[in-house]
Amino acid sequence: MLFHLSQIHKTDDTICALATPIGVSALGIVRLSGSKALAIVENLTKLSQPLKSHEIIKTTIKNPKTKERVDEVCLSYFKNPKSYTGEDMIEIYAHGNPHILNDILHLCVQNGGRLAKPGEFSSRAFLNGKMDLTQAEAVSGLIHSKSSLTRKLAHKQLKGEFFGILKELKEALVQTLSHIEAHLDFETEGDVKEFSQDGFLLNKTENLQKKVEGLTTSYKQNQKLMQGLKVVFVGKPNVGKSSLFNAFLNEERAIVTEVPGTTRDVLYETVFFDQSEIEILDTAGVHKTEDVVEKQGIERTKKAINSADIIFVVVHAHEDFQKEDHEILTWLHDKKEHCVLLLNKADLGKRNTPQIFFQNSFYVSAKSGEGIDELKRFLKENYLEKEINDAEFIVTHQRHYEILEKTNEKIQSLKEGIQNKISLEYLACDVSEALHLLGEITGETTSEEVIQKIFSEFCIGK
């Protein structure tokens, strides 16, 4: 089912929600949006003067029935349409006590409000034309961004950069469509031939394709940076994987003992390193065993290795390779380019010099901390640093990427159609479909189901 903005069912309910996480904190924010927001809050505060838009005032929230004082708060009023949702909005800044915040929410509901669904504030902003769908998605992206890069990209999208790029693409498609339609009425064989040789149209189509491909490539090339790196530690039992893992995390997460085979399962840990999210998996040793639990652990290790971006292969620095080390190295041969060799326990000596196996290797010591900073720097310089200039735009959402891929197929079909001199009607069809697809990204032609799904993934109160 497709709709246009004007056809979407808008409710007149006034919604309210907690906009900050539940828990004890300095402040907690309750927000309201809708035509009754002002009346509800006035009923709870009994202000002597009417609230002025875009001003913050200090007041007391009381239960209007019992006159019981609930909290001393600050509140701000945003008169429509100059608000996030485009409706009348009020934000109440209360003390961050869950009971207080709960009471305020209850009072809002008792006095005519309704609890908001996830993303309902943002969906109202979208429905009221305050932002297009890419900007609404950027709001969510900003809240969930995992690194300085993804945050920067979300800001660019929120500012409307992606919308602007898509607008240009749509304008170029509309021009193409007008060009084709202008010739459509006079379509005779001769005209078609003449038209098909029209370099203008082919040029325009090729330019469009370049731009769309530029966007899809930006998504593919930067996937790893968007999702965070997956790093795994692998090595025979007792080489110090768990200790290195802890040294990397600066905390005691994995259990470290002197009995081989302690790490029976894969431990997942997400760390923020240099503003990027890295997933570290401490895995079971890869050695032959009859122990059922350990066998399962080894199976999981193999799975973890297959999905890892970087494999830290841990060996002893102070002793020669053992049979088990060779087994692991042989086993990892076809993953060589993802492997980094860590010669651990360097504090006990540096006997092993196996640079021959992998391009990158480090002497480290989980005990003394030797080499750990160097290792972090290596990660940063080789995998995490990515600067984008202001003119560059990277597609960050899979939904956008998939639609752009489909758009590209339509443009490719258009290009081939022009080259093969097919009927103008078919060419017009491809252009219209490409236009429709781009509208799905910005929200003009998106199905209601998709829109609901997008907003349902937002936080409550956003």
Interaction site with ligand GDP (CB under 6 A): 235, 237-243, 256-258, 262-263, 344-345, 347-348, 365-367
- Beginning with the edge strand found earlier in the chain, give each strand of the sheet holding 69-78 in spatial order: 56-62, 69-78, 89-96, 25-33, 14-18, 113-115
The string of DSSP letters for 53-85 reads BT-EEEEEEE-TTT--EEEEEEEEEE-TTSSSS
Residue 1: other Cβ atoms inside 10 A: 6
Distance CA 362, CA 355 (A): 9
The single-letter DSSP state of residue 447 is B
Shortest reach from residue 320's CB to ligand GDP, in Å: 17
Beta-bridge partner residues of 91: 31, 76
**Torsion over CA: 79, 83, 88, 89 (sign):** negative
Backbone angles phi, psi at 276, to 5 degrees: -120, 155
Minimum CB distance to ligand GDP smaller for 86 or for 285: 285
Shortest reach from residue 230's CB to ligand GDP, in Å: 18
Shortest reach from residue 283's CB to ligand GDP, in Å: 9
Shortest reach from residue 261's CB to ligand GDP, in Å: 7
Minimum CB distance to ligand GDP smaller for 33 or for 283: 283
Minimum CB distance to ligand GDP smaller for 3 or for 331: 331
Shortest reach from residue 301's CB to ligand GDP, in Å: 12
Shortest reach from residue 258's CB to ligand GDP, in Å: 4
Minimum CB distance to ligand GDP smaller for 145 or for 243: 243
Both tokens of residue 382? 């080789």
Minimum CB distance to ligand GDP smaller for 19 or for 281: 281
**CB–CB of 346/365 below 8 Å?**
yes
* Among 391, 396, 405, 407, CA closest to 445: 407
Minimum CB distance to ligand GDP smaller for 237 or for 354: 237
Residue 391: other Cβ atoms inside 10 A: 6
Minimum CB distance to ligand GDP smaller for 253 or for 421: 253
Both tokens of residue 172? 């170029």
Distance CA 446, CA 215 (A): 20
For ligand GDP, the nearest residue by Cβ is: 240
Minimum CB distance to ligand GDP smaller for 124 or for 241: 241
Shortest reach from residue 286's CB to ligand GDP, in Å: 11
**Torsion over CA: 354, 360, 362, 366 (sign):** negative
Shortest reach from residue 260's CB to ligand GDP, in Å: 6
Length of the chain measured in residues: 462
